[in-house]
Copies of this chain bind each other. A is one copy, B any other.
Amino acid sequence: MTAERLSKERLRLWLRMLRVTRQVESTLRERLRTEHDTTLPRFDVMAALYADGDGLKMNELSRRLRVSNGNVTGIIDRLVEDGCVERIAIEGDRRATRVCLTDAGRASFSKMAAEHERWINALFEGVAEEDAHHIGGLLHRLPTPLSDST
C-alpha cells in the first residue's frame, strides 16, 4: 500500500518538474528572442561549443545535447548563416566535420551567458544553496543513460 503512495508521489514530483522546467524554458526563450534575437536551441548549441575550445563534431554535439543528428544539422546551418559558427573539415576523415564558434559567435555567446546566469539566479531565488545542493545530488543519480559531464 505504501508502494502505491510512493508511486503517486513520484508522479506528482515529475509533473511539478515538468511544469517548472517548461515555465523557465518559456521565460528564457522569450528573453533570448527579445533581447538577443536568438533562440534557446541556438543558445544551447553555442554553449556546448563555447565549453569546448576546439569545437565539436556534429556527432558529439547531438549526443551532448540529447537531440537527433538531423536536428543539429538545421541549427548549425542557421548559425553558420548568421556568422556565429563555422564548419571545418577534419583531416583524415572526409565524412565528419568539426564545428567551431567564430570570434563573433564567441563574443556574442559570452555576453548572453552572463545574462543567462542572472536570469536563472533570479528565477530560482526561492532555492537556498543547501537545497540546490541537495536536489542537485538527487538529480545526479536519476535517469541518465548517457551521463557525460553536466
Name the interface residues of A1-36: CB closer than 8 Å to any CB of B. 2, 5-27
Name the interface residues of A118-150: CB closer than 8 Å to any CB of B. 118, 120-121, 123-124, 126-129, 131-136, 138-146, 150
Copy count, this protein chain: 2
Contact of A95 with B by CB under 8 A = no
Residues in chain B near residue A123, CB distance under 8 A: 14, 142-143
* CB nearest neighbor in B for A67: B22
Say whether B138 contacts A127, CB under 8 Å: yes
What distance in Å separates the Cβ of A3 from its nearest Cβ neighbour in chain B? 9
Residues in chain B near residue A117, CB distance under 8 A: 7-8, 11
Task: List 23 A-B residue pairs with CB atoms under 8 Å apart, sorted by A's residue number.
Answer: A6-B121, A6-B129, A7-B120, A9-B129, A10-B120, A11-B117, A13-B124, A13-B136, A17-B20, A18-B21, A18-B25, A19-B66, A19-B139, A19-B144, A19-B150, A21-B21, A23-B143, A23-B144, A27-B143, A123-B142, A123-B143, A124-B143, A134-B134
Q: Could you list which residues of chain A lie within 8 angstroms of chain B, going by C-beta atoms?
A: 2, 5-27, 66, 117-118, 120-121, 123-124, 126-129, 131-136, 138-146, 150
